[in-house]
Structure 1
Amino acid sequence: MKILLVSDQIDPFVYSSTIKEVFADIDCVLCAGDLSMDYVDFIVSSLNKPTYFVFGNHNLEHLKYFHKELQKEDQQLKEYSCGAIYAGFSVIRDNSLLIPHPVSKKPTPLLIAGVSGSRDYNHGQCQYTENQMKFKLLKLVPQLIMNKIRYGRYLDIFLTHATPRHVHDHEDNCHKGFKVFNRFLKKYKPTFMVHGHIHLYDLNEPRISRYDQSIIVNAYGHYVIELPVTDSSDIPVIVD
């Protein structure tokens, strides 16, 4: 299974008339935030593959369509759809994308958990403190336990905008990672964590690292991953 990752910028390699040819073998698309919904819609309509997205801390014009608490009482919102599925603060089981059960090897759904937003740095929309993010993640736990019982694992992919602390993050308040993500990874051990938020202007910055048992991938621009993973021995390990 090949999965296209995108985040943070309109990548000319993706936003192209040749997208169907270049990504003909893609099975799924994951959008890790800070993207216009028009761009997400272009990807969905061009590739016609299951597409999941979370919001970042920018490009939030459509956030109110997916979070009722942001809607004003007198606000009449029309139905909004870009063809992609919002994965923010939810657990998703995609029965059209199959992963072998770790023991029985029977086909089981691709398991995704998604989280929107970044660290709170100026009290804007879709920004969270450590405690706020902790409680957001706690609400996912019952569904993760159900995954473990039914499918032999909690999670395949953890889709976020922000990073874990000290994994691909920076030291300014906006770009610090969440410590609670580190604990989440150690507990639920997704094969991949896919994030955005950190722009790869410096070619020396890592795009891929291993943390505990998870492969952490920065989706900036675009990147392609594969499941199941055949070999991760050459991926640098981060230890906290």
Structure 2
Amino acid sequence: MKILCVADHIDPLVYSAAVKTRFSDVTMVLGAGDLPMEYLGFLSSSLNRTVGFVFGNHNLKALPLFQRSKASLLDQTALTAQTQNYYGSTCLEGRVMRLEGILIAGLGGSIRYNRGEHQFTNFEMNCRLLRLVPRLLWNRLVHGRYLDILLTHAPPRGIHDEEDLCHQGFTGLLWFMRRFRPRYLLHGHIHLYDINANRVSQYHDTTIINVYDHYVLDYELD
């Protein structure tokens, strides 16, 4: 199975009339944040494939619509219509879902650096991670494994991140990978301007990939 992963930058190789030909063998699309919803909608309609995504710390205009706990009943109705008829995408924020046979959890946002929207302290991110645990335990019971892919915007602390506060990773992601052993952690947020820059690392049983711009993951189903 091939998964087209996108984050942070609208790639002209992807956002083009040739996308259907260029990525004809893709089964699913995952967005790791900082992309306009229209871009994800374009991929959904052009490729006619499942699209799952998280938000980053930019391009947050649609974020309130996907914050289910804060949305009014009217907003919820609008969200359902937009998701099915326009965006064509599934928001994975704070959720654990099975898409195309793959167990995926999503946690977007970045480290808090200026009190902007969708920014979190390490403590707040730890709380978000803990809220996933009941469903992960259910997955282990039913599917024999906790999780296949953790989709984030920010990277783990010390892996692919940078020292300036805005681009530091979350420490809790390291604990999460040790404890629940997802096969992959896919993230964006760290822009890659050098074609030779390292974007793939290993941490215990988890392969961490920076999917900035676009990255095609060749996922082997069990």
1:180 is displaced (CA, Å) by 0.1
Structure 2: distance between partners of 1:172 and 1:50 = 35
Paired residue secondary structure (2:134) = helix
> Equivalent residue for 2:97?
92
Structure 1: distance between partners of 2:202 and 2:106 = 19
Could you list the runs of 4 or more consecutive aligned residues of structure 1 that deviate by over 4 angstroms after TM superposition? 68-71
1:148 is displaced (CA, Å) by 0.8
Paired residue secondary structure (1:215) = strand
Structure 2: distance between partners of 1:68 and 1:24 = 33
Alignment pair present for 1:222 and 2:192: no
The letter for the 2-side match of 1:57 is N
> Equivalent residue for 1:175?
167
Residues 70-85 of structure 1 aligned to structure 2 (within 5 Å): 77=75, 78-79=78-79, 80-81=82-83, 82-85=87-90
Structure 1: distance between partners of 2:215 and 2:124 = 30
> Equivalent residue for 2:148?
156
Radius of gyration: which is bigger? 1
> Equivalent residue for 2:107?
115
Structure 2: distance between partners of 1:137 and 1:155 = 13
> Equivalent residue for 1:34?
34
Instruction: Single out whichever of 196-205 and 181-190 deviates more from structure 2.
Output: 196-205
**Among the aligned pairs, what percent are the same residue?**
47
1:206 is displaced (CA, Å) by 1.1
Alignment pair present for 1:199 and 2:191: yes
Paired residue secondary structure (2:26) = coil
Structure 1: distance between partners of 2:113 and 2:152 = 17
Q: Deviations over 1:142-162 (max 9, x none)?
A: 000111111111111000000
The letter for the 2-side match of 1:17 is A
1:69 is displaced (CA, Å) by 5.8
List gaps (5 residues or longer) in structure 2: none
1:203 is displaced (CA, Å) by 3.4
Q: Deviations over 1:194-216 (max 9, x none)?
A: 00000001334311111111111
Paired residue secondary structure (2:35) = coil
The letter for the 1-side match of 2:156 is P
Structure 1: distance between partners of 2:133 and 2:5 = 25
Number of residue pairs aligned between Structure 1 and Structure 2:
215
TM-score (norm 1): 0.86
Q: Deviations over 1:65-84 (max 9, x none)?
A: 0114665x8x9643332100
Structure 1: distance between partners of 2:113 and 2:163 = 12
Q: Deviations over 1:169-199 (max 9, x none)?
A: 0001110000000100111111111000000
Q: Deviations over 1:93-128 (max 9, x none)?
A: 12xx2xxxxxxxxxxx31000001000000111000
> Equivalent residue for 1:6?
6
Instruction: Single out whichever of 47-56 and 195-204 deviates more from structure 2.
Output: 195-204
> Equivalent residue for 1:54?
54
Structure 1: distance between partners of 2:68 and 2:175 = 29
Structure 2: distance between partners of 1:76 and 1:139 = 26
**CA-based RMSD:** 1.7
TM-score (norm 2): 0.92
Change beyond 3 A, Cα 1:135–1:216: same
Paired residue secondary structure (1:137) = helix
**Whose helix proportion is higher, 1 or 2?**
2
